[in-house]
């Protein structure tokens, strides 16, 4: 069962400049940053708030580390902006399978490792009214 909006992913050309905008404008600070070689991104997670289920809601800022990454290709086509929405779940495997059973394409056969050690998968945007959708089980939950 999906429990919260885990994060909104925002693609950007310059991570440091974008982090500074969110810090100066809204007071959001970087909670976590990392480079995900598999996905070809450098990212910063800005914590917005905690949630009643012990999780949190974040903005995830994504800068591609290579042009052929999914985010790099997306930026080249669309420019900066909202890239995806992610919903938190205690069971990414079970929820992905249940959603697949409803006719929605799940992009990974098995969940992969995402930010902060989470387990993730994505749903095809053409099956989700044009929105790339991620399912996330935080490291603390798995």
Active site residues per annotation? 7, 43, 60, 84, 134
- The H-or-E segment that residue 19 falls in is helix 15-26
Q: Count other C-beta atoms under 10 Å from residue 36's C-beta.
A: 17
How far is it, in rounded angstroms, from Cα 70 to Cα 89? 23
Specify whether the CB–CB gap between 136 and 88 falls below 8 A.
yes
User: With contact defined as beta carbons under 8 Å apart, do 43 and 63 qualify?
Assistant: yes
Tokens read off for 91: 């069971």
E strand segments, 12-140: 30-36, 41-50, 56-64, 81-89, 112-113, 119-123, 133-137
């Amino acid at each position: 069962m999906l429990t919260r909006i885990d994060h909104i992913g925002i693609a950007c050309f310059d991570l440091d400049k974008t982090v500074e905008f969110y810090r100066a404008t809204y007071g959001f600070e970087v909670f976590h940053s990392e480079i995900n070689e598999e996905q070809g991104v450098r990212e910063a997670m800005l914590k917005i708030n905690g949630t009643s289920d012990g999780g949190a809601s974040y903005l995830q800022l994504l800068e591609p580390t290579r042009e052929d990454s999914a985010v790099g290709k997306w930026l080249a086509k669309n420019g900066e902006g909202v890239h995806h929405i992610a919903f938190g779940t205690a069971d990414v495997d079970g929820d992905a399978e249940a959603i697949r059973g409803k006719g929605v394409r799940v992009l990974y056969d098995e969940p992969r490792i995402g930010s902060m050690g989470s387990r993730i998968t994505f749903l095809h945007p053409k099956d989700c009214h044009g929105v790339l959708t991620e399912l996330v089980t935080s490291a603390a939950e798995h």
